[in-house]
Amino acid sequence: MIIVLKRGTDRKTIDEFSGALKRTYNVDVNEWQGVNETVLGLIGDTTTVDIGTIKAQDIVYSVKRVQEPYKKANRKFHPEDTVITLSNGAKIGGGNLTLIAGPCSVESESQVTEIAKAVKESGATVLRGGAFKPRTSPYSFQGLKEEGLSLLFKARQETGLPIVTEIMSEADIDLFSDVDIIQVGARNMQNFTLLKKLGKLDKPILLKRGLCATIEEWLMSAEYIMAEGNQQVILCERGIRTYEKYTRNTLDLSAIPIVKSLSHLPVIVDPSHATGHSWLVEPLAMASVAAGADGLIIEVHNDPPHALCDGAQSLTPEEFDKVAKKVTNIKSAL
Ligand code: PEP
Ligand code: MN
């Protein structure tokens, strides 16, 4: 961290300030005297230094971080890829390509089981399905909740596929004790109370990028979970809001190599929510794998026109099969 002091700050004040920085943050402080300004360089772990507090000091002209504010999620401190192993042996991260597929929402036993069997046949190793649904309108289908979770457990029993499903509130955490991967949706990426609770679990967390979140904010949310002890975080790029209206969101493909260089955590991509159109899922799934994604999470429905949620972006099982083949070929070509 670099701190530029205001012109004319006297020697005694500089020494007092440097001393306070050393004591408070347990860092070394280097000082450079320019012609007009004094610059202080903080050496050491500055993750706990609050930039706002430094800026608020009368003698400070400007402050700049040169180190990322996250530590546990940072590749600098953990150079090897994090690899998460699931109950069926599937691995997420570390050069594996993981295909997660299933309906937006669990609607019935036959729906979710039929889809689960089909996507497994096509190479998916994890089943997705929403039981608690975050909908923009309170009048839209809100999910089958507890019943949806039981139907997912049944589908897992039938197929052996581990399940990923979204939690919306910390109040529901006990209901998720038998879920393989808990999803934190885009709308809850900065629900810090929820993140801290999930950080106490010994269970993988799929953390979606917030609708308007920067990469750094997203990694800081991962840090919230990891700082509490849970290191099993999977990041999911699902598009961010831009001024483009053609697609539901804008898939930030550049986030894939950027996050993979900044962090050791696996990065998977959701081309369904990123685009909102089923015909765009295939090209963006291929592009994501080519850009280095560790996996994909894709919405698949056995009857998209009658889906209770997100039918327009859902692939049929046959379409998913085609996409699975193409992305697997791309992965092998890399
Ligand atoms: C979902 O995966 O069903 C979902 C609601 O996604 P997101 O949080 O990315 O909008
Ligand atoms: Mn959906």
Per-residue pLDDT reduced to its tens digit, 273-310: 999 999 999 999 999 999 999 999 999 999 999 999 99
Q: What are the tens digits of pLDDT across the range 162-189?
A: 999 999 999 999 999 999 999 999 999 9
Please tell me if the CB atom of residue 271 comes closer than 6 angstroms to any atom of ligand 1: no
pLDDT confidence bin for 35, thresholds 50/70/90: confident
First to last CA, the chain: 38
CA–centroid distance, residue 313 to ligand 2 (Å) = 8
Distance CA 220, CA 46 (A): 14
Most ligand 1 atoms within 8 A of CB, residue of 234, 270, 313 to mutate: 270
CA–centroid distance, residue 137 to ligand 2 (Å) = 14
Please tell me if the CB atom of residue 186 comes closer than 6 angstroms to any atom of ligand 1: yes
Please tell me if the CB atom of residue 104 comes closer than 6 angstroms to any atom of ligand 1: yes
Nearest CA to ligand 1 atom 3: 104
Please tell me if the CB atom of residue 209 comes closer than 6 angstroms to any atom of ligand 1: no
Please tell me if the CB atom of residue 238 comes closer than 6 angstroms to any atom of ligand 1: yes
With b meaning 16 or more CB within 10 Å and e meaning fewer, what string describes 124-153?
Answer: bbbbbbbbbbeeeeeeeebbbeeebbbbbe
Please tell me if the CB atom of residue 273 comes closer than 6 angstroms to any atom of ligand 1: yes
pLDDT confidence bin for 215, thresholds 50/70/90: very high
Tell me the whole-structure pTM to 2 decimals.
Answer: 0.95
Nearest CA to ligand 1 atom 8: 185
Contact (CB, 8 A) for 263 and 219:
yes
Contact (CB, 8 A) for 126 and 86:
yes
Average pLDDT, the chain: 97
Mean pLDDT of 136-142: 96
Nearest CA to ligand 1 atom 4: 185
Q: Is 273 exposed, middle or buried, given 0-12, 13-18 or 19+ CB atoms closer than 10 A?
A: buried
Mean pLDDT of 129-149: 97
pLDDT over 90 percentage in the chain: 98
pLDDT confidence bin for 159, thresholds 50/70/90: very high
Residue with tokens 């000091």: 57
Please tell me if the CB atom of residue 184 comes closer than 6 angstroms to any atom of ligand 1: no
Q: Tell me, rounded to whole angstroms, the distance of Cα 132 from its chain centroid.
A: 18
CA–centroid distance, residue 269 to ligand 2 (Å) = 13
CA–centroid distance, residue 110 to ligand 1 (Å) = 22
Most ligand 1 atoms within 8 A of CB, residue of 166, 212, 275, 297 to mutate: 166
CA–centroid distance, residue 310 to ligand 2 (Å) = 5
pLDDT at 34 over 90: no
Which phi and psi (to 5°) does residue 60 adopt? -90, 130
pLDDT over 70 percentage in the chain: 100
Ligand nearest to the CA of 270: 1
pLDDT confidence bin for 195, thresholds 50/70/90: very high
CA–centroid distance, residue 273 to ligand 1 (Å) = 7
CA–centroid distance, residue 270 to ligand 2 (Å) = 10
Residue with tokens 């004790």: 177
Contact (CB, 8 A) for 313 and 248:
yes
Max intra-chain CA distance, the chain: 76
